[in-house]
Structure 1
Amino acid sequence: MLQIDADAVRWREGTGSGEDDAELLVVMHGIGSHEGDLFGLAPHLPERLTIASLRAPIPYGGGFAWFEFSPIDSDDHAVIDEAAQAVLAWLDGLERRFARVHLLGFSQGGAMAVQLARLAPERFASITHLASFVHAGSLPGDAALAAQQPRIPVLTTIGDLDEVIHRDKVERSAPWLDAHFDVDRRTYHRAHAIVADELADVVAFLERV
């Protein structure tokens, strides 16, 4: 069974201190990366948010992965649900309670963020879905996710030069996101990376939600 390494989590304390106003942003990196990668964004993100940057549980090359890489779509949710359940278990094990929990993921981490909301739609306040896709197939919680009012706000981004996320995955994921979330969609002239304009939009989105 996969587990999140609590000792590897990178933390940035937010200004909200009490249970009524404390907000947590869970950050999940892409395949082959590590917890320190996206943590570099922390100084630019809203100060009210406590940030926890997680390390994926599966060793992959010189870094880590959330689930097995596949260039083609798979509707086998077991491959991604095991890691998603590990994140939920990590959240359950936190000694501190947060009034709201937000998710931010890049590439594989973005797919993880959406999967977490599919498994537990009532637990998350927003999703920042960067250079990513949605895992194929259906889950029992999808109908509840789509019916939730208000819907969970999602900022989803992609680059017009991105050759890592297959175009078929992007085109399949877009209408699915629209059917289940309150979507803010942005496209940038970039490859598989985060650019300055994108970071500015991420900050504005997190300030808004």
Structure 2
Amino acid sequence: MVSIDSSVIRWSAPEEERAGKPLVLLLHGVGSHEGDLIGLAPYLAPEFVYASLRAPLEYGGGYSWYPLSTPGAPDYAGVDEAADAVLDFVDSLAGQHPTVGLLGFSQGGSLSLQLLRKRPTAFEFAVVLAGFVVPGAPADVDEQVAAAKPPVFYGHGDADQVIPAEAVARTSEWLAEHTAVDDSVYPGLTHGVAQEEIDDVNGFLARVHPA
């Protein structure tokens, strides 16, 4: 059983300024840590408070949300366990925030979509950057996502050599079938995040969470 260490979470605002604000959870990629995506917070919509979590498993000097296996197709049970750990953290906040959104990069992006599967109506939106949907979900799980049609921004580069093309195609198809997706491809972008993409993310946030 894995869990989120709340003592190492990096927040975009001090504790006294968080309550009552919409929250976005930042979920880093494999081998990274909680100090990574929090660096995006100054460039993202300021009406949110951002919380960057540390994945529970040690990996290569950083951390991983779940054990690695086939690229773009990890073991479903391990991803589900990681999602349960994040949900336990969300539950611990006990209504401190009116809404909760998700922003994940790479492995963290796959976890964001798994969280939508676990609770399709609990999250205001998901931003998936260079991520993928994990294969192997029971049919009834994805049917619940399709019924909710959560808003998702899917940003990915056409020069990404880390996420297999098959996983990207699977993800675009799944998102089109199950979510209200903004699927944006960035020419020449490798496995990373571009300024144009951040601008598009902010446009997406303005649409799904009007100020």
Shorter chain as denominator, the TM-score bin is over 0.9
Percent identical across equivalent pairs? 43
Query: Once the 2 structures are TM-superposed, how far is the Cα of residue 126 of structure 1 from its aligned partner?
Result: 0.4
Partner SS state of residue 172, structure 2:
helix
How many residues get paired?
Answer: 205
Letter of the 1:187 counterpart: V
Cα 1:55–1:75 change in 2 (3 A) is: closer
Letter of the 1:179 counterpart: E
Q: Alpha-carbon deviations, 1:107-145, whole Å to 9, x = none?
A: 000000000000111200101000011000123321111
TM-score using structure 1 length: 0.92
Higher helix share: 2
Q: Distance in 2 between matches of 1:101 and 1:63?
A: 26
Query: Once the 2 structures are TM-superposed, how far is the Cα of residue 73 of structure 1 from its aligned partner?
Result: 5.3
**Structure 1: gaps (5+ residues):** none
2:192 corresponds to which residue? 193
Q: Does residue 26 of structure 2 align to residue 7 of structure 1? A: no
Letter of the 1:162 counterpart: D
Query: Once the 2 structures are TM-superposed, how far is the Cα of residue 95 of structure 1 from its aligned partner?
Result: 4.8
**Structure 2: gaps (5+ residues):** none
2:56 corresponds to which residue? 57
Contact 2:72 2:132 in 1 (8 A): no
1:107 corresponds to which residue? 106
1:204 corresponds to which residue? 203
Partner SS state of residue 34, structure 2:
coil
Contact 1:162 1:192 in 2 (8 A): yes
Letter of the 2:53 counterpart: L
Of 154, 158, 162, which aligns to 2:160?
162
Q: Distance in 1 between matches of 2:167 and 2:117?
A: 18
CA RMSD, 1 decimal: 1.9
Where does 1:28-177 land on structure 2 (aligned, <5 Å)? 28-72=27-71, 74=73, 76-95=75-94, 97-139=96-138, 140-148=140-148, 151-177=149-175
